[in-house]
Each structure stands twice: as C-alpha cells, then as structure tokens.
Amino acid sequence: MSEPIRPPQTAALDDPVDAIGVIAGDHRVERAIAARTLRAVAGWLRQRANVITQGQWSI
C-alpha cells in the first residue's frame, strides 16, 4: 500500500522571532514565512510528481 498523501509541515511560527515579527506586523517576516511555506509546498509537489511519474503511486 502506498504512503498517504500529506502536505508538507508549514508551521512557520515555530521560531519565536518569527512569531514576534508577525505579531508586531513586520511584513518582511510575513514575506519570509510565505516564501518558506511556498518552497516547502513546491518541494512536496516535486516529490509527489516524481513518485507519480515513476509509477510508485496509484490513485
């Protein structure tokens, strides 16, 4: 049986400095978190695409 499809973990507020920046409304921190989240999702999608193209995953 193939592994379940799970999106990447994107808990961006694990870092207290990031949490403080978001609370303070620092848009640079928010953009950095968004960029990290998008990179994580893109990496996950690439991994899923590789598994699908290699025929290791079925619907």
| Residues of the chain under the 70 pLDDT cut | 1-18, 56-59
Per the domain annotation, does 26 fall within a domain?
A: yes
Return the structure tokens found at 57: 């995953």
Q: One-letter amino acid identity for 53? A: T
Per the domain annotation, does 1 fall within a domain?
A: no
Per the domain annotation, does 37 fall within a domain?
A: yes
Per the structure, the count of domains in the chain is 1
pLDDT digits (tens, 9 = 90+) for 34-43: 888 888 888 8
Per the domain annotation, does 5 fall within a domain?
A: no
Domain that holds residue 32: 12-53
pLDDT of residue 31: 84
Q: Which residues of 14-40 are buried (b: 16+ CB within 10 A; e: fewer)?
A: eeeebeebeeeeeeebeeebeeeeeee
Q: One-letter amino acid identity for 6? A: R
Return the structure tokens found at 2: 């193939």
Per the domain annotation, does 4 fall within a domain?
A: no
- Whether residue 3 contacts residue 56, with contact meaning beta carbons closer than 8 Å, is answered with no
Q: Is the full-model pTM beyond 0.95?
A: no
Question: Which residue reads 């994580």 in tokens?
Answer: 40
